Amino acid sequence: MPLLIMTVDYPTLADCIGHTPLIRLQRLAGQTSNTLLVKLEGNNPAGSVKDRPALAMIERAECSGRIQPGDALIEATSGNTGIALAMVAAIKGYRMLLIMPDNSTAERKAAMTAYGAELILVESMEAARDLALEMQVQGKGIVLDQFSNQDNPTAHYCTTGPEIWQQTQGQVTHFISSMGTTGTIMGVSRYLKEQNPAVQIIGLQPRDGATIPGIRRWPEAYLPSIFDGSRVDQIVDMGQHEAEDCMRRLAREEGIFCGVSSGGAVAAMLQVSKTVANAVLVAIICDRGDRYLSSGIYASESV
């Protein structure tokens, strides 16, 4: 008899983006009638929530004919988006030029170059964004521009939001997220509010003087154009010490190893939990803690 060969449709790496776990906090929540949940976006292939918009921005640019394999892509980034774009560029065959502040952690820089990206270091995110646009004008590549590209929030509208709704069986009452480009909170807010307008959307920004990697208080001239303030019900100003302390507690008391902005999001969720009852709160754990180890932040203070 002839040998029958079965064709198996194995996934590619891009197929593994999304569908991340939503888990319950066991110790930090304390005695409460509320359910406190966190979405583990560090489980994405390149280690952060930014895998979702990175894939979406590149694939939509391909579909529109704006880019083709072999083109050079340019992006200003503080870290996670750059790592995610470098991964997707490697999958699809693009040259990736990333412009980032020179104070980014060594792990972030190393991860980008491991994927084959070329790095340009500047003094600030504002300078990085300006240089990216200048390089595009000079014909050195195509800027995807996560700050104004609607494919960024749309990625979360199509994936992150529906996942949270399904994973909570439609019971989510509060969504808490750090705000950098604001793509995550914009897309998730739009989806959840369409399902239930009563869901409260809470955004996190650093308190004046605080330095929390991945989130910003943008000067008006640099405010991401994808941001729509009407989609956020409450903005929490988060202190650096509070975010760092909660980040360390997450590792030591919950086994959740994450970055500072994720610690801030959970700290904000704990604050909100004290003011409500019988609620289902969801916070985004946007990345993993291993890309911050060289900063010494995990060893800097005992809990």
3-state secondary structure of 294: helix
Residue 283 DSSP symbol:
E
Residue 26 DSSP symbol:
S
Q: Count how many residues are written for the chain.
A: 303
Residue 294 burial (CB count, 10 A): 13
- Is 50 an annotated catalytic residue? yes
3-state secondary structure of 198: coil
Tell me the angle at which helices 240-249 and 260-273 cross, rounded to the nearest 10 degrees.
90
Rounded distance between C-alpha atoms, residue 156 and residue 190, angstroms: 9
What are the tokens at 31? Answer: 């005695």
- Is 230 an annotated catalytic residue? no
What is the phi/psi pair of residue 298, to 5°? Answer: -80, -20
Active-site residue (options: 178, 189, 261, 262):
261
Active-site residue (options: 39, 50, 109, 193):
50
Q: Strands of 35-40's sheet, edge to edge? A: 22-24, 35-40, 280-285, 174-178, 200-206, 234-238
Please give the positions annotated as active site.
50, 261
